[in-house]
Amino acid sequence: MRNYILFFILIACLKSGISYSQDVNVKIGIKDSLQSKILNENRQLVVSLPIDYDVSNDTYPVLFLLDGTENNLIDARLVTYNLRLKIIIVAISNTDRERDMMPISRPSYQVENPKADNFISFLETELVPYIAKKYRTNGQKTIRGRSLSGLFVMYAFLSKPELFDNYIGNCAGWFADMNTYFNKLADKSFQNNNNFKGKKLFVANSLADPLDPNKEIHQSIIDLSKRIEHELGDQIKYEYITYENAGHVPYSGFYDGMKFIFEKE
Protein backbone atom coordinates (compact mmCIF):
# COMPACT_ATOMS: atom_id res chain seq x y z
CA MET A 1 0.00 0.00 0.00
CA ARG A 2 2.82 2.41 0.90
CA ASN A 3 4.46 1.85 -2.50
CA TYR A 4 1.19 2.62 -4.27
CA ILE A 5 0.84 5.86 -2.31
CA LEU A 6 4.38 6.96 -3.19
CA PHE A 7 3.77 6.10 -6.83
CA PHE A 8 0.65 8.25 -7.08
CA ILE A 9 2.37 11.14 -5.29
CA LEU A 10 5.20 10.96 -7.81
CA ILE A 11 2.80 10.89 -10.76
CA ALA A 12 0.91 13.90 -9.36
CA CYS A 13 4.15 15.84 -8.95
CA LEU A 14 5.27 15.04 -12.48
CA LYS A 15 1.93 16.12 -13.89
CA SER A 16 2.13 19.43 -12.04
CA GLY A 17 5.59 20.19 -13.38
CA ILE A 18 7.57 19.40 -10.21
CA SER A 19 10.87 17.63 -10.85
CA TYR A 20 13.11 15.80 -8.40
CA SER A 21 16.86 15.23 -8.30
CA GLN A 22 18.96 13.55 -5.65
CA ASP A 23 18.72 16.69 -3.49
CA VAL A 24 15.01 17.23 -4.31
CA ASN A 25 14.94 20.32 -6.54
CA VAL A 26 11.50 21.79 -7.06
CA LYS A 27 10.86 24.26 -9.89
CA ILE A 28 7.87 26.46 -9.16
CA GLY A 29 8.41 29.12 -11.81
CA ILE A 30 10.74 31.25 -13.91
CA LYS A 31 12.54 34.18 -12.36
CA ASP A 32 11.86 37.46 -14.15
CA SER A 33 12.12 41.13 -13.30
CA LEU A 34 11.02 44.54 -14.49
CA GLN A 35 12.71 47.89 -13.97
CA SER A 36 9.95 50.30 -13.02
CA LYS A 37 10.27 53.98 -13.88
CA ILE A 38 7.16 54.74 -11.83
CA LEU A 39 8.41 53.05 -8.67
CA ASN A 40 12.06 53.78 -9.42
CA GLU A 41 13.13 50.26 -8.54
CA ASN A 42 13.57 46.80 -9.96
CA ARG A 43 10.60 44.53 -9.24
CA GLN A 44 11.27 40.82 -8.94
CA LEU A 45 8.76 38.38 -10.43
CA VAL A 46 8.31 34.64 -10.58
CA VAL A 47 6.25 33.45 -13.53
CA SER A 48 4.65 30.01 -13.44
CA LEU A 49 3.60 28.71 -16.86
CA PRO A 50 1.07 25.98 -17.68
CA ILE A 51 2.63 22.57 -18.13
CA ASP A 52 1.88 22.51 -21.88
CA TYR A 53 3.06 26.08 -22.52
CA ASP A 54 6.22 25.06 -24.42
CA VAL A 55 4.54 22.43 -26.58
CA SER A 56 1.46 24.35 -27.67
CA ASN A 57 0.50 27.60 -29.35
CA ASP A 58 -2.33 28.24 -26.92
CA THR A 59 -2.90 31.52 -25.15
CA TYR A 60 -3.71 31.64 -21.44
CA PRO A 61 -5.37 33.83 -18.81
CA VAL A 62 -3.11 35.52 -16.28
CA LEU A 63 -3.31 35.56 -12.49
CA PHE A 64 -1.43 38.49 -10.95
CA LEU A 65 -0.50 37.30 -7.47
CA LEU A 66 0.21 40.02 -4.91
CA ASP A 67 2.45 39.15 -1.95
CA GLY A 68 4.26 36.89 -4.40
CA THR A 69 6.26 34.80 -1.95
CA GLU A 70 7.29 31.24 -2.74
CA ASN A 71 4.68 29.90 -0.32
CA ASN A 72 1.89 31.94 -1.90
CA LEU A 73 2.98 30.84 -5.37
CA ILE A 74 2.92 27.20 -4.27
CA ASP A 75 -0.60 27.78 -2.92
CA ALA A 76 -1.62 29.27 -6.26
CA ARG A 77 -0.17 26.33 -8.17
CA LEU A 78 -2.02 23.87 -5.95
CA VAL A 79 -5.30 25.75 -6.39
CA THR A 80 -4.98 25.93 -10.17
CA TYR A 81 -3.87 22.28 -10.34
CA ASN A 82 -6.83 21.09 -8.27
CA LEU A 83 -9.22 23.15 -10.38
CA ARG A 84 -7.53 21.93 -13.59
CA LEU A 85 -6.90 25.48 -14.73
CA LYS A 86 -4.31 26.29 -17.38
CA ILE A 87 -3.18 29.73 -16.35
CA ILE A 88 -0.08 31.92 -16.23
CA ILE A 89 0.70 32.98 -12.66
CA VAL A 90 2.73 36.15 -12.13
CA ALA A 91 3.94 36.34 -8.53
CA ILE A 92 4.96 39.90 -7.63
CA SER A 93 7.51 40.10 -4.82
CA ASN A 94 7.22 42.91 -2.28
CA THR A 95 9.79 45.62 -1.71
CA ASP A 96 7.78 47.96 0.53
CA ARG A 97 4.45 46.25 1.15
CA GLU A 98 2.78 48.97 3.23
CA ARG A 99 3.78 51.71 0.81
CA ASP A 100 2.46 49.82 -2.22
CA MET A 101 -0.71 48.32 -0.77
CA MET A 102 -2.09 51.26 1.21
CA PRO A 103 -3.76 54.28 -0.41
CA ILE A 104 -4.11 56.14 2.90
CA SER A 105 -2.87 56.22 6.49
CA ARG A 106 -5.28 56.17 9.41
CA PRO A 107 -4.95 55.60 13.18
CA SER A 108 -6.18 52.04 12.75
CA TYR A 109 -3.31 51.33 10.32
CA GLN A 110 -0.61 53.97 10.10
CA VAL A 111 1.66 54.02 7.06
CA GLU A 112 4.48 56.49 6.67
CA ASN A 113 4.29 56.79 2.88
CA PRO A 114 1.10 55.31 1.37
CA LYS A 115 1.52 55.12 -2.42
CA ALA A 116 -1.02 52.60 -3.69
CA ASP A 117 -1.77 55.03 -6.51
CA ASN A 118 1.81 54.63 -7.77
CA PHE A 119 1.66 50.86 -7.51
CA ILE A 120 -1.56 50.62 -9.48
CA SER A 121 0.00 52.86 -12.15
CA PHE A 122 2.95 50.45 -12.25
CA LEU A 123 0.55 47.54 -12.79
CA GLU A 124 -1.43 49.35 -15.48
CA THR A 125 1.29 50.97 -17.56
CA GLU A 126 4.31 48.73 -16.96
CA LEU A 127 3.68 45.24 -15.61
CA VAL A 128 0.47 44.24 -17.40
CA PRO A 129 1.79 45.36 -20.84
CA TYR A 130 5.15 43.67 -20.13
CA ILE A 131 3.51 40.31 -19.37
CA ALA A 132 1.18 40.61 -22.39
CA LYS A 133 4.15 41.26 -24.68
CA LYS A 134 6.49 38.58 -23.33
CA TYR A 135 4.07 35.70 -22.70
CA ARG A 136 1.19 34.19 -24.66
CA THR A 137 -1.79 35.65 -22.83
CA ASN A 138 -5.41 35.67 -23.95
CA GLY A 139 -6.20 39.06 -22.39
CA GLN A 140 -8.12 37.79 -19.36
CA LYS A 141 -6.56 39.21 -16.20
CA THR A 142 -7.23 38.29 -12.55
CA ILE A 143 -5.67 39.92 -9.49
CA ARG A 144 -5.56 38.25 -6.09
CA GLY A 145 -4.55 39.75 -2.75
CA ARG A 146 -4.64 38.63 0.87
CA SER A 147 -4.90 40.67 4.06
CA LEU A 148 -3.20 44.02 3.33
CA SER A 149 -2.91 43.20 -0.36
CA GLY A 150 -6.58 42.18 -0.17
CA LEU A 151 -7.32 45.78 0.80
CA PHE A 152 -5.35 46.82 -2.27
CA VAL A 153 -7.54 44.57 -4.42
CA MET A 154 -10.59 46.44 -3.14
CA TYR A 155 -8.85 49.75 -3.83
CA ALA A 156 -8.01 48.59 -7.37
CA PHE A 157 -11.57 47.40 -7.94
CA LEU A 158 -12.98 50.79 -6.94
CA SER A 159 -10.35 53.03 -8.53
CA LYS A 160 -9.51 51.07 -11.71
CA PRO A 161 -12.32 48.59 -12.39
CA GLU A 162 -11.38 48.44 -16.06
CA LEU A 163 -7.80 47.28 -15.38
CA PHE A 164 -8.59 43.65 -14.48
CA ASP A 165 -11.41 41.33 -15.46
CA ASN A 166 -11.55 39.56 -12.09
CA TYR A 167 -10.76 40.58 -8.52
CA ILE A 168 -10.16 38.22 -5.57
CA GLY A 169 -9.73 39.66 -2.08
CA ASN A 170 -9.06 37.29 0.83
CA CYS A 171 -9.44 38.85 4.28
CA ALA A 172 -10.13 42.04 2.38
CA GLY A 173 -11.74 45.26 3.55
CA TRP A 174 -10.89 48.18 5.79
CA PHE A 175 -11.30 49.53 9.31
CA ALA A 176 -14.05 51.97 10.28
CA ASP A 177 -11.85 55.07 10.20
CA MET A 178 -11.24 54.42 6.48
CA ASN A 179 -14.94 54.37 5.59
CA THR A 180 -15.08 57.99 4.44
CA TYR A 181 -12.19 57.50 2.01
CA PHE A 182 -13.53 54.30 0.45
CA ASN A 183 -17.12 55.57 0.34
CA LYS A 184 -16.00 58.62 -1.63
CA LEU A 185 -13.99 56.35 -3.92
CA ALA A 186 -17.09 54.23 -4.52
CA ASP A 187 -19.25 57.35 -5.03
CA LYS A 188 -17.00 58.49 -7.85
CA SER A 189 -16.46 55.07 -9.38
CA PHE A 190 -20.09 53.91 -9.35
CA GLN A 191 -21.18 57.00 -11.31
CA ASN A 192 -19.98 55.20 -14.42
CA ASN A 193 -21.18 51.68 -13.82
CA ASN A 194 -20.39 50.66 -17.40
CA ASN A 195 -16.77 50.28 -16.26
CA PHE A 196 -17.93 47.31 -14.17
CA LYS A 197 -19.77 45.51 -16.95
CA GLY A 198 -18.74 41.86 -17.11
CA LYS A 199 -16.40 42.09 -14.12
CA LYS A 200 -16.19 39.50 -11.36
CA LEU A 201 -15.44 40.23 -7.71
CA PHE A 202 -14.98 37.62 -5.00
CA VAL A 203 -14.32 38.52 -1.37
CA ALA A 204 -13.84 36.09 1.52
CA ASN A 205 -13.35 36.90 5.20
CA SER A 206 -13.24 34.92 8.42
CA LEU A 207 -15.56 35.76 11.30
CA ALA A 208 -12.82 34.50 13.63
CA ASP A 209 -10.07 36.70 12.19
CA PRO A 210 -7.87 37.82 15.11
CA LEU A 211 -6.93 40.95 13.14
CA ASP A 212 -10.58 42.00 12.96
CA PRO A 213 -11.82 41.46 16.54
CA ASN A 214 -14.61 44.05 16.27
CA LYS A 215 -15.76 42.88 12.82
CA GLU A 216 -15.01 46.29 11.30
CA ILE A 217 -13.48 44.82 8.15
CA HIS A 218 -16.37 42.40 7.83
CA GLN A 219 -18.85 45.27 8.20
CA SER A 220 -17.08 47.32 5.53
CA ILE A 221 -17.67 44.54 3.01
CA ILE A 222 -21.29 44.08 4.10
CA ASP A 223 -21.87 47.79 3.46
CA LEU A 224 -20.06 47.68 0.13
CA SER A 225 -22.02 44.57 -0.88
CA LYS A 226 -25.28 46.47 -0.43
CA ARG A 227 -24.00 49.28 -2.62
CA ILE A 228 -22.84 46.86 -5.31
CA GLU A 229 -26.25 45.19 -5.34
CA HIS A 230 -28.18 48.46 -5.60
CA GLU A 231 -25.84 50.53 -7.78
CA LEU A 232 -24.20 47.99 -10.08
CA GLY A 233 -26.87 45.31 -10.21
CA ASP A 234 -26.34 42.73 -12.92
CA GLN A 235 -23.42 44.65 -14.43
CA ILE A 236 -21.13 42.60 -12.21
CA LYS A 237 -20.93 39.07 -10.88
CA TYR A 238 -20.18 39.28 -7.18
CA GLU A 239 -19.92 36.97 -4.20
CA TYR A 240 -19.01 37.56 -0.56
CA ILE A 241 -18.28 34.50 1.60
CA THR A 242 -17.55 34.37 5.32
CA TYR A 243 -15.99 31.42 7.13
CA GLU A 244 -16.96 30.90 10.76
CA ASN A 245 -13.75 29.71 12.42
CA ALA A 246 -11.05 29.87 9.78
CA GLY A 247 -8.70 32.43 11.32
CA HIS A 248 -6.76 34.90 9.19
CA VAL A 249 -6.64 34.38 5.39
CA PRO A 250 -8.42 31.03 5.03
CA TYR A 251 -6.92 28.86 2.31
CA SER A 252 -10.45 27.99 1.21
CA GLY A 253 -10.97 31.62 0.21
CA PHE A 254 -8.36 31.33 -2.53
CA TYR A 255 -9.77 28.06 -3.85
CA ASP A 256 -13.38 29.25 -3.68
CA GLY A 257 -12.44 32.54 -5.33
CA MET A 258 -10.71 30.92 -8.29
CA LYS A 259 -13.56 28.45 -8.65
CA PHE A 260 -16.05 31.32 -8.67
CA ILE A 261 -14.05 33.26 -11.25
CA PHE A 262 -13.42 30.38 -13.64
CA GLU A 263 -16.53 28.28 -13.23
CA LYS A 264 -18.30 27.61 -16.49
CA GLU A 265 -21.51 29.52 -16.83
Q: Is the pLDDT of residue 3 over 80?
A: no
Q: How far is CA 261 from the centre of its chain?
A: 12
CA distance 204 to 212: 13
Which whole number is the average pLDDT over 196-220?
96
Q: What pLDDT does residue 11 have?
A: 43
Q: Position 135: which residue type?
A: Y
The edge-to-edge listing of strands for the beta sheet with 41-48 is 30-36, 41-48, 88-92, 60-65, 137-146, 166-170, 199-206, 236-243
pLDDT band at residue 2 under the 50/70/90 scheme: very low
pLDDT digits (tens, 9 = 90+) for 48-78: 999 999 999 999 999 999 999 999 999 999 9
Which whole number is the average pLDDT over 103-119?
97
Q: Position 25: which residue type?
A: N
Q: Position 68: which residue type?
A: G
